[in-house]
Amino acid sequence: MEKPIQSPFEQAPNPHLRCVILEATADPDLHRWLYQLAPDGIPQWAPLFLDTPYHSLADQGPALIMSNTSDQWSDYANALLSQSDAGCILYLESAQHWQAAIEHCQSLLSVRTEERPDQLMRFFEPRWLEPLLMALSEGEKRAFLGPFSGLAWRNELGWRYTERNQPWDGTVQEPGWLWLGQQRRQEMEKARLRLMAAEMAEGYRSVIDSSPAEEFVFTQLSNAYAAGVTQKAQYERWLRLTLSQGTQFWQSKPVNSILARQDLAISTKLDELESLSS
């Protein structure tokens, strides 16, 4: 079960070895910091794209770093995870499982879809971790965690945590083992809307008459999704239109005419809708 926690850098939710996944695209100097801030030389780490079809991008890809102490490196990782969607934190029961941990993370770098058998996936993306976990069965969730006993990430609701509910059976999955078909992606999008609704409800609670506010916002965001909205900022613009024009604003003829236009991007459609309401 996903649950809120304090920063895992301040109060660890798990007694096991802390491992951090950070993506170099969040900081081009990541590898330099790996060497410079390690207290005793080079930390135990591995570029996850190495020995995969993405090996040519290893310097720009994610790295798995064992970081179980309070030091400058942990401060750096904490700052990077707090200000960007750079990665997540995993907990390893034993350093003896380090190689299995690397191989497990590499197995999640690609997923199977209707379109491709090897679709690259940023499985450590904190904005999508909770929606993905909510869409998995209990068996798939255990397989997703693999040798890691717990997982922490930061999203709109703050730091979150989940843990493995059974001992690891020692299995390391093959790359591309996870199926991420269209139906599951839709389930993930709905779960993502739930998270955004909880966050936006808190920010707009004073102007929302309905109760519970989270359900009201979720309904409006679901309408926006059906209309083709995909970005968080666009969802908030739709919510603002709802609050100013009423929950049925999108069913009027002028609005339907704008939404039906195939020559306009959704951001332009929202511009038009906002012009109508001004």
pLDDT at 194: 95
Query: pLDDT of 90-137, one tens digit each?
Result: 999 999 999 999 999 999 999 999 999 999 999 999 999 999 999 999
Is residue 77 pLDDT above 80, yes or no?
Answer: yes
Cα gap 168→20, rounded to integer Å: 20
Instruction: Report pLDDT for 278.
Output: 63
Q: The tokens 């390391």 sit on which residue? A: 172
pTM across the whole model: 0.89
Residue 74 pLDDT > 90:
no
Q: What is the pLDDT of residue 40?
A: 60
Compute the distance between CA of residue 25 and CA of residue 110 in angstroms, rounded to an integer.
18
Residue 24 CA, distance from chain mean position: 16
pLDDT for 36 beyond 60: yes
Query: Tens digits of per-residue pLDDT, 213-251?
Result: 999 999 999 999 999 999 999 999 999 999 999 999 988
Q: Where are the domains of the chain?
A: 3-180, 185-277
pLDDT value at residue 196 = 96
Chain segment 164-210, per-residue pLDDT in tens: 989 999 999 999 999 999 999 999 999 999 999 999 999 999 999 88
Q: Which helix (DSSP H) or strand (DSSP E) does residue 66 occupy?
A: strand 62-66
Q: How many CB atoms lie within 10 A of CB 203?
A: 13
pLDDT digits (tens, 9 = 90+) for 129-149: 999 999 999 999 999 999 999
Strand-pairing partners, residue 66, are 19
Report pLDDT for 71. 79
SS3 41: coil
Q: For residue 265, what are the contacts with CB-CB under 8 A and spacing of at least 6? A: none
- What pLDDT band is residue 267 in, cutting at 50, 70 and 90? very high
73 has pLDDT over 80: yes
Q: Can you state the percent helix, strand and coil of the chain, rounding each to 5?
A: 45, 15, 35
